[in-house]
Amino acid sequence: MKQARNRLIFALDVPDLYEAERYLRILRDRVGLFKVGKELFTHAGPRVVEMIGEMGQRTFLDLKFHDIPNTVGGASREATRLNVAMFNVHAMGGPEMMAAAAEGARSAAGETGMEKPAVLAVTVLTSLDSDALKLVGIDTSVEEEVERLARLAQEAGLDGVVASPREIALIRRACGRDFILVTPGVRPAETAKHDQRRVMTPGEALQAGADYLVIGRPIRLARDPVEAVERIVEEMEGV
Ligand code: C5P
């Protein structure tokens, strides 16, 4: 079993390298991974991933690739060459696209001798409910769609999915113990929920079967981010 702190992913949702470096200095070696999303990557590019590496830390590159298989395969090779620990794609891109992502990661890791990153799928964005799914032509419930896409991701050779707290148990049942579940929407008991609607505490999410927790604002906006991390880690250790 991984150490609790290695299962904590800090969402580096900041606008530029300067802010990123500030949080990296404070939180290095206190969390398992730093998640870089579209805002920071679009602003700072691969440099931010290099900076995280130079500080001895690893990256979850949260760019949610979604394109034709050839393009996603190429993007996946480049993500792997950046030496990230994880990156993700949209399961809605289909099995061929997901297989191209897995193969891109495998081949680039083989060529460079780097460790293959975990390739994760995003199933249904948590911003979509069943009404929104209907509007784009999907008539099933969110739960059914999440389960279908998680199984599809696993069959296509992906390593896991990003899943909201309420989906963890469902996917764990469908995809088994070895499928990696990364869960945002986690809030320590006495902190604000912000715009997250269905939240779990770190302990509840681990108990439900999550492997990694993604937490941003409860740490970033805390008066003392280090103390906030240590409290979360303590709760994770108690599970
Ligand atoms: O600040 P907070 O803890 O809500 O940050 C959670 C992170 O996880 C953000 O980067 C957010 O974009 C991401 N995320 C999420 N819900 C999803 C998928 C990703 O909150 N369903």
Residue 221 CB contacts under 8 Å (≥ 6 apart), including other chains: none
DSSP alpha helices (H): ranges in 83-224? Answer: 95-112, 130-135, 142-155, 168-175, 202-208, 217-220
Residue with the two structure tokens 């760019």: 63
Q: Calculate the alpha carbon distances from 201 to 27, 74, 111, 224, 235 in Å.
A: 21, 37, 41, 19, 9
Q: Which residue of the set 35, 64, 116, 193 is catalytic?
A: 64
CA torsion sign for 28, 233, 219, 142 is positive
How far away, in angstroms, is 184 Cα from ligand 1 center?
5
SS3 state of residue 184: coil
The CA-atom distances, in angstroms, between 71 and each of 53, 67, 97, 104 are 26, 6, 9, 10
Output the CA 177–ligand 1 centroid distance in Å: 23
pLDDT at 1: 59
Question: CB within 8 A of 66, min separation 6: which ones?
Answer: 72, 89, 90, 92, 93, 97
Which ligand 1 atom sits nearest the alpha carbon of residue 220? 1
11 close to ligand 1 (CB < 6 Angstrom): yes
Quote the pLDDT of residue 113: 96
Confidence at residue 198, expressed as pLDDT on a 0 to 100 scale: 77
Q: Report the residue among 9, 12, 13, 126 best suited for mutation to probe ligand 1: largest number of ligand atoms under 8 A from its CB.
A: 13
Is residue 64 flagged as an active site residue? yes
Q: Of 161, 123, 156, 160, give the one whose Cα is nearest residue 142.
A: 123
- 214 C-alpha to ligand 1 centroid (Å): 7
d(CA 104, CA 95): 14
Q: pLDDT tens string for the chain (239 positions)?
A: 589 999 999 999 999 999 999 999 999 999 999 999 999 999 999 999 999 999 999 999 999 999 999 999 999 999 999 999 999 999 999 999 999 999 999 999 999 999 999 999 999 998 899 999 999 999 999 999 999 999 999 999 999 999 999 999 999 999 999 999 999 999 998 888 888 877 899 999 999 999 999 999 999 999 999 999 999 999 999 99
Instruction: State pTM to two decimals.
Output: 0.97
